[in-house]
């Protein structure tokens, strides 16, 4: 087939069509066109009695080309290609291995038979992009396995392996990893003369009919909790119900209409933006080899990091100079593994094996052979500098030294080590064994291969590592201070913690800022502010948070914070005592309290967040708007269906954001409401952060 992504080879009377479009054989338009041509050529060739479709490399087909979803569809549509494959007069066998996802699964369903290798993984993850399977998946899968199991697959978006696929009768045969094609070709010859009418899923009725309405209601509610703001939840259910009720052609036409509606939705655009943002950053440097890791500090964060590393297969030395703290840390480790087994995140054997990889030690001399050391001690510059001075003297010459600081100056921490080029920030989020985000902070002297090593280890741990520059709070926490500042001022001005949190949670935030503060512990931010030398000369600045800490109200861990937590419960309740404290403090500061609208709460908090993000982009601390969006959606509970703060700014219009900043500057003062230069530049020129990103990428590539 020339230079296309499709190659054909003849094995006796079987035509093997190979999809070869690295890295995942995505079904882009040229691939679809070439596949259609190859299938039609094989069907018309009298020397061919059957067709096998296979994927080159590690995967069969891992889905469509998602970039195409931002443009008008180009013929041939995958839906039309699959209808043509299903109608072929000769048996078509899918030889499946690796990822069989999205459009790849739909392709497999359009084939008449499916043979799978042991490593196969089936899934319809479209809901994660605010979409539904648009090329017959909502119709063929229910006709193969039943409506309820099909809905489970589509509404979860989770893949399944060969064992579950076998139970569901998705596959007609299994092979070893090395003889997949041989097995598929053998089956092709066996069924060459079999009547295909019963093999075409378009001709079947849904076995068992429609699922019970009560079951559908429960599944709908669960999916909406998992994927808030995503309209494709309802669309998927509607299309599967149509499969049970209508003809294949009628229900397929409905699924195409719903797919196009979902594709055009703001939520899907946002989720597709995040899909690429979370995969954009790549390093050109070669990472150093990491065979063992040391973690300093056995508190909640250190223990969580150790668990995550050990689960990823790395031997870990967990160091704490305090014997009792170390014992408590190892007990924490055992508790995390036990909880992971109970919640089925790990099986018992895997948890036991990971636990064996963690070795406790009291002295830092135990880290002499470690390839990577991650410091997770108290958030104090002095303490961290002492640790790094010791590491510089003790560690092997090629070791990478990482600090888990959330706010402090990486260069100041690195200096005492005597090897600042080997020091990098790895800011994990709590709980470290669960939270996906790691901010990888480059210092002034950090070597590129040290950054690449941190990225490589983060990927191995299953984390999303975003590289950021060095400043107070880096990207996430520096923006958090702007967002939190407005929350704190609004409390003094008349909004209650309950009102503020409800307004932002209605916008889509996972938790409001006051609930988050209580969960994290208000004393954490209090200690950070005591370390800072650059706080505004403003008695209102984080005054409510400081007041709560000084009253012993540290949050959930003390049963009292911005809210009251009765009898150790996590469920928050308003506390009149807090309202009285805030009212009294506002009076002392001469602040006249007023009724604050929910719209003002959202605009002030979100526009402060966006403005600070624009400032970080202009300063080069954040390289790309998508980096900010990935950080805030994965670390701070920003709603994924809104795409992150910078995508959200583009969606409402940068002119609207800038006008809001100007208005707040007039009514609240310019101390906190000075527009970021990049925001002003883009808004005045009618631009967007996305267009700015594309321009920056073009400049980088020299095109």
Residues 6+ apart with CB under 8 A from 667: none
Instruction: Measure the CA–CA gap between 641 and 643, rounded to whole angstroms.
Output: 6
Whether residue 124 contacts residue 140, with contact meaning beta carbons closer than 8 Å, is answered with: no
DSSP-assigned beta bridge partners for residue 53: 17, 94
| Residue 424 near residue 400, CB atoms below 8 Å | yes
Q: d(Cα 563, Cα 154) in Å, to the nearest integer?
A: 39
Nearest 5 degrees, angle CA 468-CA 471-CA 473? 85
Find where tokens 């308003």 sit.
574
The helix (H) or strand (E) run that includes residue 303 is helix 300-311
Q: DSSP per residue over 468-514, as a string?
A: E--STTTTHHHHHHHHHHHHHHHHHHT--HHHHHHHHHHHT-SS-HH
Contact 361, 319 (CB under 8 A): yes
Nearest-10 Cα torsion for 522, 524, 528, 531:
110
φ, ψ (nearest 5 deg) of residue 56: -75, 155
Instruction: Name the catalytic one among 15, 40, 72, 126.
Output: 126
Return the SS3 of 289. coil
Beta strand pairing status for 6-11 and 14-19?
Answer: antiparallel
* Rounded CA separation 509/511 (Å): 5
**Tokens 């963690």 found at:** 358
Packing angle between helix 625-635 and helix 598-619, nearest 10 degrees?
130
Please enumerate in sequence order all residues whose Cβ is within 8 A of that of 428, keeping only pairs 6 or more positions apart, or say none.
301, 304, 305, 376, 404, 435, 437, 438, 463
Q: What are phi and psi of 426, to 5 degrees?
A: -130, 90
Residue 466 and residue 656: Cα distance in Å, rounded? 29
> What does the DSSP assignment read for 369-422?
T-SEEEE---S-HHHHHHHHHHHHHHS-TT-EEEE--SSS-HHHHHGGGT-GGG
> Pick the catalytic residue: 15, 86, 106, 680?
106
Q: What 3-state class would DSSP assign to 451?
A: helix
Using left for φ > 0, alpha for ψ between -120 and 50, and beta otherwise, residue 494 falls in left
User: HSE of 338 in the Cβ direction (CA atoms, 13 Å)?
Assistant: 6
Q: Are 633 and 641 in contact (CB under 8 A)?
A: no
Task: Give the Cβ contact number of residue 552 at 10 Å.
Answer: 9
Q: Are strands 92-96 and 50-55 parallel, antiparallel or unpaired?
A: parallel
- 106 as an active site residue: the answer is yes
Q: Left (φ > 0), alpha (ψ -120 to 50) or beta: where does 568 sit?
A: left
Contacts of residue 239, Cβ cutoff 8 Å, sequence gap at least 6: 132, 138, 139, 251, 254, 255, 258
DSSP string, 17-55: EEE--TTTT---HHHHHHHHHHHHHHHH-TT--EEEEEE
Active site residues: 106, 126
């Amino acid at each position: 087939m020339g230079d296309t992504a499709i190659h054909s080879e003849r094995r006796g009377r079987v035509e093997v069509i190979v999809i070869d479009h690295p890295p995942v054989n995505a079904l882009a338009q040229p691939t679809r066109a070439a596949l259609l041509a190859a299938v039609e050529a094989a069907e018309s060739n009298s020397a061919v009695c059957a067709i096998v479709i296979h994927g080159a490399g590690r995967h069969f087909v891992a889905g469509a080309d998602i970039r195409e979803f931002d443009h008008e569809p180009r013929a041939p549509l995958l839906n039309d290609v699959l209808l043509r494959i299903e109608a072929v007069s000769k048996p078509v066998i899918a030889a499946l291995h690796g990822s069989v996802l999205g459009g790849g699964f739909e392709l497999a369903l359009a084939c008449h038979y499916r043979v799978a290798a042991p490593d196969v993984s089936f899934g319809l993850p479209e809901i994660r992009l605010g979409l539904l399977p648009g090329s017959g998946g909502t119709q063929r899968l229910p006709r193969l396995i039943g409506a309820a199991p099909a809905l489970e697959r589509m509404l979860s978006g989770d893949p399944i392996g060969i064992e579950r696929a076998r139970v569901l009768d998705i596959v007609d045969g299994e092979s070893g990893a090395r003889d997949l094609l041989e097995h598929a070709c053998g089956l092709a010859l066996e069924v060459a003369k079999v009547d295909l009418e019963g093999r075409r899923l378009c001709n079947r009725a849904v076995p068992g009919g429609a699922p019970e309405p009560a079951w559908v209601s429960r599944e709908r509610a669960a999916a909406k909790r998992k994927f808030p703001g995503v309209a494709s939840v309802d669309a998927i259910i509607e299309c599967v119900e149509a499969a049970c009720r209508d003809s294949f052609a009628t229900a397929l036409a409905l699924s195409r209409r719903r797919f196009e509606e979902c594709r055009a939705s703001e939520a899907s655009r946002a989720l597709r933006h995040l899909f690429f943002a979370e995969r954009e950053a790549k390093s050109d440097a070669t990472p150093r080899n990491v065979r063992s890791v040391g973690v300093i500090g056995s508190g909640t964060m250190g223990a969580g990091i150790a668990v995550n590393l050990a689960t990823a297969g790395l031997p870990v030395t967990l160091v704490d100079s305090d014997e009792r703290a170390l014992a408590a840390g190892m007990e924490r480790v055992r508790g995390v593994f036990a909880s992971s087994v109970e919640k089925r995140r790990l099986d018992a054997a895997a948890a036991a094996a990971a636990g064996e990889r963690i070795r406790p030690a009291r002295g830092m001399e135990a880290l002499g052979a470690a390839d990577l050391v991650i410091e997770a001690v108290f958030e104090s510059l002095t303490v961290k500098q002492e640790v790094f001075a010791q590491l510089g003297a003790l560690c092997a010459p090629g070791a990478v030294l990482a600090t888990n600081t959330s706010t402090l100056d990486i260069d100041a921490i690195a200096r005492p080590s005597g090897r600042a080029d080997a020091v990098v920030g790895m800011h994990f989020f709590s709980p470290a064994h669960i939270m996906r985000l790691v901010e990888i902070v480059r210092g002034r002297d950090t070597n590129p291969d040290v950054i690449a090593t941190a990225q490589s280890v983060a990927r191995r741990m299953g984390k999303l590592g975003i590289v950021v520059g060095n400043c107070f709070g880096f990207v996430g926490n520096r923006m958090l201070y702007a967002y939190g500042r407005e929350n704190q001022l609004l409390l003094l001005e008349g909004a209650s913690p309950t009102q503020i949190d409800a307004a932002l949670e209605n916008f889509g935030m996972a938790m409001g800022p006051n609930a988050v503060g209580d969960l994290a512990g208000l004393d954490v931010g209090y200690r950070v502010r005591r370390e800072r030398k650059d706080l505004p000369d403003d008695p209102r600045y984080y005054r409510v948070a400081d007041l709560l800490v000084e009253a012993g109200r540290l949050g959930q861990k003390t049963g009292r914070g911005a809210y009251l937590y009765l009898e150790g419960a996590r469920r928050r309740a308003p506390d009149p005592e807090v309202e009285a404290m805030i009212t009294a403090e506002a009076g002392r500061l001469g602040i006249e309290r007023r009724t604050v609208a929910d719209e003002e709460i959202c605009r002030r908090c979100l526009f402060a967040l966006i403005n600070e993000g624009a400032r970080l982009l202009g300063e080069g601390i954040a390289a790309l708007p998508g980096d900010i969006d990935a950080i805030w959606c994965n670390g701070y509970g920003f709603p994924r269906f809104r795409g992150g703060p910078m995508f959200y700014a583009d969606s409402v219009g940068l002119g609207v954001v800038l006008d809001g900043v100007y208005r707040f500057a007039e009514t609240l003062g310019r101390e906190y409401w000075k527009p970021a230069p990049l925001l002003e530049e883009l808004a005045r020129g009618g631009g967007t952060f996305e267009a700015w990103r594309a321009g920056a990428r073009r400049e980088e590539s020299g095109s």
